[in-house]
Amino acid sequence: MSKEIPKGMYISIILREKRKTYSKPFWEGTERRELLIQECVDCGKRIYPPAYLCPSCLSTNLAWMKASGKGKVYSFSTLYQGPPVHYEGKTPYTLALVDLKEGVRMLTHIVECKAEEIKCDMEVEVTFEDFKEMGLTLPKFRPI
């Protein structure tokens, strides 16, 4: 890690450079407070994380659809110690795998809820938070 780049900025710079052309609509969607996933026009597979090719049939004919934003917590883990540099000072935060009604799974945060109240299979809905240092609006989930 170069010393000229302040800690935390390093990852945000990488992210901005690496953001893929095919995933742009997703991030434009989150800025509008919309959660978008992809659907393969040829085989119907629902896709998250966003992809260039359909992993089922390798079609590039993928359409964006607005997700309901409703789902269930598949699992979760609250990070208390040793966060990555871009999360220094933000602990504790709860990482979770959320299964959306549309049949895809997202890595996300559970917010607006005490860590000890979070359970597997708990019903949640999407909310959006700006992560200014990274220039991203992240979809997160809260209990219904």
Toward other proteins, which CB reaches closer, 1 or 63?
A: 1
Do residues 75 and 59 make contact, with C-beta atoms less than 8 angstroms apart? Answer: no
Strands (DSSP E) along the chain, which ranges? Answer: 36-40, 46-47, 62-66, 70-79, 93-100, 105-110, 123-131, 136-143
Toward other proteins, which CB reaches closer, 7 or 33?
A: 7
What is the nearest approach in angstroms of other proteins to the Cβ of residue 109? 6
Ramachandran class of 89: left when φ > 0, alpha when ψ lies in -120 to 50, beta otherwise: left
Strand pairing class (123-131; 105-110): unpaired
Residues that bind other proteins (CB under 8 A): 1, 3, 7, 10-11, 14-15, 18-20, 23, 48-50, 55, 74-87, 90, 93, 95-97, 104-109, 115, 120-121, 131, 134, 136, 138
Toward other proteins, which CB reaches closer, 78 or 127?
A: 78
Toward other proteins, which CB reaches closer, 59 or 91?
A: 91
What is the nearest approach in angstroms of other proteins to the Cβ of residue 26? 8
Angle, CA of 139, 27 and 19, to the nearest 5°? 120
Tell me the sheet residues that pair with 110.
Answer: 94, 141
List phi, psi (to 5°) of 94: -105, 115
Tell me the sheet residues that pair with 139.
Answer: 128
Toward other proteins, which CB reaches closer, 23 or 70?
A: 23
What is the nearest approach in angstroms of other proteins to the Cβ of residue 40? 15
What is the nearest approach in angstroms of other proteins to the Cβ of residue 3? 7
What is the nearest approach in angstroms of other proteins to the Cβ of residue 42? 19
